[in-house]
Structure formats: structure tokens, C-alpha cells
Amino acid sequence: MSKPYFGTDGIRGIANQILTPELAIKAGSAIAEVCTARGFQKRAIIIRDTRQSGEMLQLSISSAFLAAGWNVTNGGVLPTPAASYAVRRGDFSLGVVISASHNPAQDNGIKFFGPDGKKLMEEIESEAESLFEGHKFNRPVGTGLGSTAEGAEIRDGYFWHLKAAADRPLKNLKVVVDCANGASYELAPRLLKELGMEVIKIGCEPDGLNINHTGGATKPQVVQQKTLELNADLGIAFDGDADRCVFSDEKGRLINGDRFLAAFAFRLRKHGLSAKSVVGTVMSNGGLKEYLNGIGVELLQAKVGDKYVQQLVEQSHSPAGGEQSGHIIIPHHGPTGDGIMTAIEFIKILSETGLKASEVHDFYESWPQTLYNLKVKDARGWDQNQVVVDAVKNAQAELGGLGRVNLRASGTQPILRLMIEAKSIAARNEVSSLLVKVMKNHLGAEIESEVDLTHALGD
């Protein structure tokens, strides 16, 4: 079923233009009715990030749930994974997050977590969306209406959940913490201080409009520069809703999600623990795969998107999975990405192994990797163009086992994303030049952007 509103990460758009209070009420009313019919207990927790539009949308969707007879707890400003934690704990059957994650402040979003702590099933979203227009919602009266409560205990519970993960003494590191003026601005620095870190805060002064604006996980060069300038041991950068995290070593070099997975696998092997595989994506760097092969760990590669990583982690029983962007899933801690938990795990790795962050960075050399965003009239159907299909196939054959080509259509824009990776810069550049020329000549493509991903985050 087509879903004009729900995308891969809930509903998202410019607040008060696309994502209006009216749309929030529709979404809340529809989700509440569908979940009630499926036997959900009528208890929801709603949290948000620091965007100015968050309160408006939280009040709108809260009123929809109350009108449907649900009891609603207001969790206030908290990282997205706190909602997953709260429903897994059994206090609620539905977690609602008002956030647009790493997007700019003008955007906002609504996403839902089910009783298992995972994002709500697509079939529930589709069923709910079918009720958006022309449906008369059930409206209880009198004692059938819901009630509200404040959720201070959820904040405290989530804090202790994170602190308990540091189940052994940690190095007393000097760390620069960049919270992107987002949802982790208060909780993350406090937690790290209580764990014995010397904390230097940046991006911890949200004003409702500066989320993700001048730093954070999507602009890691900020924490990289500060870590180097201040002679810190480690830099930590979260995105706006703190479900992802990347690092800087003491030399100011980026440690992204790929390098975290290398460190995680190294620790397991060092302790003699079983780790047959970890999960990355089709964008994971070839250097990571080569390194993991060398220590006897297979890199399984999912489609881009945290839900696909989570599914493959679950299917393969892997101890960790993630994306270059720093969205890491460690099933031992929960089924969703949690940036603060990722930071704790990385500090644990440094503490247990005695390694510096720079030594972790140097586990492998990244293979040269470039991503082209190519504008086309219609991103669908490129795989029906035989010239393009053959060109991709021939390029892959030419690279052999020393590189790869990945071509995929954007799910939201008329854009093709072409990633070329090779073990040498010369091979990458040669294949890139050929394939981009084919795309221009046979699909009318224009280069919107060209990004060297060799030492970057990915998308």
C-alpha cells in the first residue's frame, strides 16, 4: 500500500507547513485506533528533541491519543532511544518520538515504537494512513477519555540503564562531547562525568533553532578540531536525537561507524568470545571487510537504513551492526541505535584493551570510496536500461575482489546514488569516470554532488 506520509523513518517534513498540528492529530488518532484494535494497552510515552516546533507537535499528538482514550506520559526532551527503552521496560505499549533526527531545525518528524522497542511495523503505519482521510474516529466520552502524567521516572530509568552498561572501571579520559544542541545536551555530559570522565562540552546550549546547526555527528569536523586543539583523549559527537554517535581520536581523525565495528569485533576476539559476523551496509568500506576477514569475522552487508541493519543483526545473531553514519545497534542493549550507549561501549573498548583512540583508528586503511548523487528525471527503472546495467556489471568485473560498485535509487528524490570503491585511487577514478559518463549519456543524469567517503560518514 502506498504511504504518502509515512516514510522509512516515520512522518517527516517542514514543521507547520508539511508536518502540521492537523497532520499530527490525524496520525495520532489513526495510530491509536489501529493499535487499540490490535489489543495494545492504551498507554503511550511521548518524547521530543530540542526543536522549537516540538512542543506544538507533542501537544497535538498527545491530544489525539487522549481523545482516543489513551493515557499519555510526557517524557519531555530525551534521546530517541529512551522511547524504545521505556516500552521495552513494559510501562507503555507505544513510544512516540517528535524529532527529525539529524535534519535542520525547521524540520520535524513523528516516529512510533511498538511494545518490542522496535519501530512500528509498516503494516500498522499503512493501515493507519488509510484512515487519514474521511474516517470517523472512535471518540469515547466521560470516563473513557485518557489522562496525562509527567515522566521524570522515565528519564531517571533511562539514565541508570545507560550507567549500568558501564559495568566495570573505565579509563579517566579527557573527552570533548558535542551534543549538536540536541536531545542529549543535558544527559550525556552528566553521565560521562559520573563515569569519571573529564568532560568538555560543546553544542550543549539549545535554543530551539540551533539543533544540528554548527556541529554534531553530521558535522564531525567540529569535534575533531576541538579534540585536537584541547589535547583531549577522545571526541564524541551525537546527532540531534542522539541515536547515532561518531568519534574523533586524539589526533583529530574521524572514527565513524565502520571503525567502531572494527573495534567491537577486535575486543570480542581479544577476549576469545564468539563473533562469527558483524553487520554493516552496502556502503561499508572495503578496508573494514578486509580487516574483519583477517581476524576471522564476516562482514554481512544490509541495505542502507537502520531498520535493515536491525533485521539482519537479528537474523544472523550478530553481536553488533551499524552504518558509517554512527547508527550502531548492539542487541544486547536493545533493538535500536543508541548514540550514548555507543559512546559508553567505545570507552569500554579503550579501557579494556588499553588502546588509544588513534590505535583503533589505525586498525585498517580505508579504501578510496566516492559517492555521486546524480539527478535524473525518474530514479525508478534505471535497471531496465541495458546499457547502464551492462556498464555496472562490467565495472564490477574489472574491479574484481578489489573494489565494488553500488547503484541505488533514492526513496524520496529523483536521484541515483552511485558509489564506487576500489583498493587504489587510480582504479576508483577510472571506473568513476566511465560510469558517470554512461549515466549522463543514457539516463540524462547530472551530478548534484560528489562526496569522497574514504574518511567520511556516508549517508
Question: Tell me, what amino acid is at 246?
Answer: V
Q: Which residues, in sequence order, are CB contacts of 422 under 8 Å at separation 6+?
A: 286, 367, 368, 399, 402, 403, 428, 431
Closest Cα partner for 245 from 454, 79, 84, 366?
A: 79
Please name the helix (run of DSSP H) or strand (run of DSSP E) that holds residue 318, with its range, or none. none
Catalytic sites, residue numbers: 101
Write down the pLDDT at residue 459: 38
The residue length of the chain stands at 459
Tens place of pLDDT per residue across the chain (459 aa)? 456 899 878 999 999 999 999 999 999 999 999 999 999 999 999 999 999 999 999 999 999 999 999 999 999 999 999 999 999 999 899 999 999 999 999 999 999 999 999 999 999 999 999 999 999 998 999 999 999 999 999 999 999 999 999 988 899 999 999 999 999 999 999 999 999 999 999 999 999 999 999 999 999 999 999 999 999 999 999 999 999 999 999 999 999 999 999 999 999 988 777 678 999 999 999 999 999 999 999 999 999 888 899 999 999 999 999 999 999 999 999 999 999 999 999 999 999 999 999 999 999 999 999 999 999 988 888 989 999 999 999 999 999 889 999 998 886 678 999 999 999 999 999 999 999 999 999 999 999 999 887 766 533
Which DSSP state fits 119? Answer: B
The sign of the torsion formed by the CA atoms of 9, 288, 321, 248 equals negative
Closest Cα partner for 53 from 102, 79, 19, 10?
A: 19
Residue with cell 489513551: 70
Angle formed at CA 176 by CA 173 and CA 182, multiple of 5 degrees? 130
Pairing of strands 298-302, 277-281: parallel
For the chain, which domains are there?
A: 6-157 (3.40.120.10), 166-361 (3.40.120.10), 369-452 (3.30.310.50)
| Alpha carbon distance 240, 82 (integer Å) | 14
Beta strands in 8-106 (DSSP E): 10-14, 43-48, 71-77, 94-98
